[in-house]
């Protein structure tokens, strides 16, 4: 049986990098609401057109747009063996919606991984972040650059800087996180689901940290612990 995981933390904490690593390791899908919304925006769908103005300002997209997308995704067959949610839930209403959806599916959460990082590190890190609009891979020009300048190692697409990674938008996103997102951690602490990860370690140490935190769960799923190169 796979694991059902939320990866939690402020923007720029390294959630996405960890989520992708864990997803590859456990062979479970990573559901990244930010990527799903950016995809809606780039395809010019009705949801994308509505979401764009909120995203550009660094505010949360209205719940009714996001919850529907996540619900539809979670109900697809590939999520039956576990999943990682990256970027959802982001407020109390979304957390309650997730409880309802999982309840209806007859499953429950196993783990909430809380990535802890100093907000000032986030501002610097996001200004150096580059993103692959095709496959979602994430790079940092200083700490984790692509092998070829501006080109995604994984799929060869041209990397971009997200418009909401500009400093003033990042500060707004951090405020939104503090006011609306961080409080829901309490819910999961009360259920004993939270494990901490340090968001300030060098990128090459992340696999070991993942191994430490997931170790007991990996035994349950029969997956071998990660080695370098994942």
90 assigned to active site: yes
- Which of 221, 226, 215 shows the shortest CA–CA distance to 4? 221
**How far is the C-alpha of 167 from the C-alpha of 216, rounded, in Å?**
39
**How far is the C-alpha of 175 from the C-alpha of 212, rounded, in Å?**
31
**What character string, x for contact with ligand AMP (CB under 6 A) and - otherwise, covers 131-170?**
---------------------------------x------
Question: Which pair of structure tokens corresponds to residue 175?
Answer: 């405020």
β pairing state of 111-116 and 194-198? parallel
Rule CB under 6 A: which of 4-33 touch ligand AMP?
A: 11, 33
Out of 37, 47, 206, 210, name the contact with ligand AMP by CB under 6 A.
37
- For the CB of residue 177, give the shortest distance to ligand AMP in the complex, in Å: 9
162 assigned to active site: yes
Out of 41, 50, 54, 211, name the contact with ligand AMP by CB under 6 A.
54
Alpha helices in 12-159 (DSSP H): 15-26, 33-43, 46-57, 63-74, 92-105, 119-127
Q: Contact positions toward ligand AMP, by CB under 6 A?
A: 11, 33-34, 37, 54-55, 58-61, 66, 87-88, 90, 94, 164, 173
Give the residue numbers marked as catalytic.
Answer: 15, 90, 129, 162, 173
């Amino acid at each position: 049986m796979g694991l059902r995981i939320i990866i939690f933390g402020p923007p720029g904490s390294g959630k996405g990098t960890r989520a992708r690593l864990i997803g590859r390791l456990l062979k479970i899908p990573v559901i990244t609401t930010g990527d799903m919304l950016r995809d809606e925006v780039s395809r010019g769908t009705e949801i994308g057109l509505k979401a764009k103005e909120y995203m550009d300002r660094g505010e949360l997209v209205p719940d009714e747009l996001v919850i529907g997308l996540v619900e539809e995704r979670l109900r697809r067959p590939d999520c039956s063996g576990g999943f990682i949610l990256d970027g959802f839930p982001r407020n109390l209403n979304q957390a309650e919606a997730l409880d309802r959806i999982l309840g209806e599916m007859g499953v429950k959460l196993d783990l909430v991984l809380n990535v802890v990082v100093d907000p000032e590190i986030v501002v610097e890190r996001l200004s150096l972040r580059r993103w692959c609009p095709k496959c979602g891979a994430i790079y940092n020009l200083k700490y984790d650059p692509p092998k070829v300048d501006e080109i995604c190692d994984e799929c060869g697409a041209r990397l971009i800087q997200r418009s909401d990674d500009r400093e003033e938008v990042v500060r707004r996103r951090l405020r939104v996180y503090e006011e609306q997102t961080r409080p829901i951690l309490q819910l999961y602490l009360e259920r004993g689901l939270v494990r901490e990860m340090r968001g300030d370690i060098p990128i090459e140490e992340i696999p070991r940290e993942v191994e430490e935190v997931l170790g007991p769960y990996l035994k349950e799923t029969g997956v071998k612990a990660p080695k370098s190169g994942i």
